[in-house]
Amino acid sequence: MPLSRRDFLRITKDYGTKTAMFAAITGTTAGTVLGQFAARDAHAAKRAKYKFRYGPSVMTPKSDGYLQIRVYDFANWIEELSDGEIAVQIIDKGQACAENQCVERVGAGVLDIGGSSAQNAAAVVYHAQALDWPFLWRDRTSLVNLLHDPSMNAVYRDVWKKKYGIEFLYCSNEMRDVFMGLKYSDLPEVRHPDQLKGRKLRITNSAMIQNFAASLGMSPVPLAWTETLEGMKSGVVDGMETWGSSAAGFGMTRVTAQAVELDFCPGMGSTFINSRSMERLPERLQEVVREAARRASELSEEKVGWGLDAITGCGPNPAPDSDYVKMSATMRHVRLTEDEMDTFRERGSVERNGQIYSEIRKELDALAGLDVFGAVSEYEKKVRGKPLNAQKWWA
């Protein structure tokens, strides 16, 4: 049973935030169990040789239930696999960093570990958007396979570490859609790119997504995630782009009239660590952190697929009590036919919009020392439709 807000606050007051997180994950409110967990945690913290500050942006146990990044599992696995040698202090709910600040604070060493969408991180780590080519990916698992494949480290992971001093660990992944505001309640369903021409689209602070909006003739409006709900309510923007569980988890479906399933770009809930913080650890504990990330990635992939039906409701078999189904009186879920999708793909493809993408291709190629789009495109074709192979990317 989900933990109520009242129980969460009570447990936080009595036992501390970490025990409250444990209660939220396990669904237990039994005092004996919580007391034992708090005692074990206090004992582990006292004997920890290394202490990491982890800022997962605006995440909470509730929002992680939608997004399935597995923030709290990841931190727990680090502590368990290190037998308490590493203690992880989770500073969530935006207390450590806003979505667009986390990667900067990790790079500066203010935080050891951080989390944000890779697309928001791109404002600081330009190469974070190197997997975001619009309409390239046909399924969400292919990208996760790339991140687990050691042969593809040069395309993405190595650049984070060598150019920015940050080690990319893992991500959840869904595909991004377009969510049109309440003024679209009485308008026909968006099923053709021409219906989006001239519309103001709230975008993540990413050059790649800005290019996507431009390729469809939209006016991109960079807007902080914390300002997006009000922007949609007020009509400052006509719509926004994000992924389904993010829209549901942060209440954006309440101000959406049409959720247009474009699957145009990855939505990566990413976790990363300062390279110096990692290098402080002996090799066996570096292995622990990476293994915790590998497990979190594997669990995230499984739970995202489940959550699309059970929680968000944008999957192929949405549950009756999922968010999209509950919002169906005010929000239409627009699923496009394959022919309609092909029209969007043709209009917004990187190949068709070579001039728009020429600059970003040059910059990303220079960072990686290879043809990034070419390598990613070739890999996607090779793994399309295959299940996750959660191999060790560092092996």
| Tens-digit pLDDT profile for residues 63-118 | 999 999 999 999 999 999 999 999 999 999 999 999 889 999 999 999 999 999 99
In a domain, 390, yes or no: no
Residues spanned by the domain of 352? 177-264+314-356
Kindly compute the dihedral angle of the four CA atoms of residues 368, 135, 328, 117, in this order, to the nearest 10 degrees. Answer: 0
Task: For residues 253 and 81, give the distance between their C-alpha atoms in angstroms, rounded to a whole number.
Answer: 38
- Residue 42 confidence (pLDDT): 57
In a domain, 199, yes or no: yes
- Residue 294 confidence (pLDDT): 99
In a domain, 129, yes or no: no
pLDDT band, residue 240 (cuts 50/70/90):
very high
The H helix count followed by the E strand count for the chain is 18, 10
Mean pLDDT, the chain, integer: 93
pLDDT digits (tens, 9 = 90+) for 339-348: 999 999 999 9
pLDDT digits (tens, 9 = 90+) for 367-391: 999 999 999 999 999 999 999 999 9
Where helices occur in the chain by DSSP H, the ranges are 5-15, 17-26, 31-47, 61-67, 71-81, 102-108, 118-121, 140-148, 157-164, 207-215, 225-234, 244-249, 275-279, 283-307, 323-326, 338-348, 354-368, 372-383
**Averaged pLDDT for residues 189-203:** 97
Closest by CA to 183, choosing from 230, 238, 259, is 238
pLDDT digits (tens, 9 = 90+) for 270-311: 999 999 999 999 999 999 999 999 999 999 999 999 999 999
- Residue 31 confidence (pLDDT): 72
User: Tokens in use for 335?
Assistant: 């699923």
In a domain, 111, yes or no: no
- Residue 7 confidence (pLDDT): 75
- Residue 187 confidence (pLDDT): 97
Task: For residues 355 and 344, give the distance between their C-alpha atoms in angstroms, rounded to a whole number.
Answer: 18
pLDDT digits (tens, 9 = 90+) for 316-356: 999 999 999 999 999 999 999 999 999 999 999 999 999 99
pLDDT band, residue 34 (cuts 50/70/90):
low
In this model, does residue 179 exceed pLDDT 80?
A: yes
Whether the CB-CB separation of 128 and 121 falls below 8 Å is answered with yes
User: Tokens in use for 168?
Assistant: 């990319």
- 202, 344: one domain: yes
Task: For residues 102 and 282, give the distance between their C-alpha atoms in angstroms, rounded to a whole number.
Answer: 25
pLDDT band, residue 20 (cuts 50/70/90):
confident
**Averaged pLDDT for residues 20-32:** 66
What is the number of domains present in the chain? Answer: 2
- Residue 204 confidence (pLDDT): 87
Percent pLDDT > 70 in the chain is 91
**Averaged pLDDT for residues 200-218:** 94
- 332, 193: one domain: yes
In a domain, 137, yes or no: no
**Averaged pLDDT for residues 53-69:** 96
- Residue 395 confidence (pLDDT): 86
In a domain, 209, yes or no: yes
In a domain, 331, yes or no: yes
Q: Higher pLDDT residue, 223 or 88? A: 88
In this model, does residue 28 exceed pLDDT 70?
A: no
In a domain, 336, yes or no: yes
Q: In the listed set 10, 29, 47, which residue is the last one of a domain according to the structure?
A: 47
Report the predicted TM-score, pTM, of the whole model to 2 decimal places.
0.87
Whether the CB-CB separation of 200 and 238 falls below 8 Å is answered with yes
- Residue 222 confidence (pLDDT): 87
Q: Higher pLDDT residue, 41 or 149? A: 149
Q: What is the CATH number of the domain that holds 231?
A: 3.40.190.170
